[in-house]
């Protein structure tokens, strides 16, 4: 999660919402991603999607089986479904997102019946640190 926080700080430095993600396989970091929808003019360029895309390239497959994705913020519905479709084994996230979270806050994509893949989900890891980074960012924006 500390590496995901580093990615979040990169996003913040670039003027993006500070969310970071790191994809790990075994004891090896496969890929990282930071939010960049503003810089890329791409509404899908969330940290999770960036890490999954880079991970797919690194592994030569869109199926990221036996991997863990660490994210500083509870994924939105788009990112949650991408995690399922990528066949990620485990998702670990920091702060809960009461406005758009799809791992239990607003909805729980991972509990939908009929999905062909199940992801082990763990939330609240380094929650205070992840949450304070976001709170500080938005407090600065509001001035």
- Has 74 been annotated as catalytic? no
| 101, burial (CB in 10 Å: exposed 0-12, middle 13-18, buried 19+) | buried
In contact, 36 and 14? CB cutoff 8 Å: yes
Of 6, 16, 48, 140, catalytic: 48
Q: In what order do the strands lie in the sheet with 67-73?
A: 28-34, 20-25, 67-73, 90-95, 120-123
C-alpha 129/C-alpha 55 separation (Å) is 25
Pairing relationship of beta strands 90-95 and 120-123 according to DSSP bridges: parallel
Q: What are 108's strand-pairing partners?
A: 103
Active site residues: 48
């Amino acid at each position: 999660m500390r590496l995901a926080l580093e990615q979040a700080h990169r996003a913040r430095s670039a003027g993006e919402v500070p969310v970071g993600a790191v994809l790990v396989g075994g004891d090896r970091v496969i890929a990282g991603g930071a939010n960049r929808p503003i810089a890329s003019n791409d509404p899908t360029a969330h940290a999770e999607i960036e890490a999954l895309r880079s991970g797919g390239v690194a592994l030569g497959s869109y199926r990221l089986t036996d991997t863990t994705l660490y994210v500083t913020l509870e994924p939105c519905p788009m990112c949650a479904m991408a995690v399922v479709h990528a066949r990620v084994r485990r998702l670990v996230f920091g702060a809960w997102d009461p406005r758009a979270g799809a791992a239990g806050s607003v909805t729980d994509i991972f509990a939908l019946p009929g999905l062909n893949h199940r992801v082990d989900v763990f939330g609240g890891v380094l929650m205070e640190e992840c949450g304070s980074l976001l709170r500080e960012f938005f407090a600065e924006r509001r001035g």
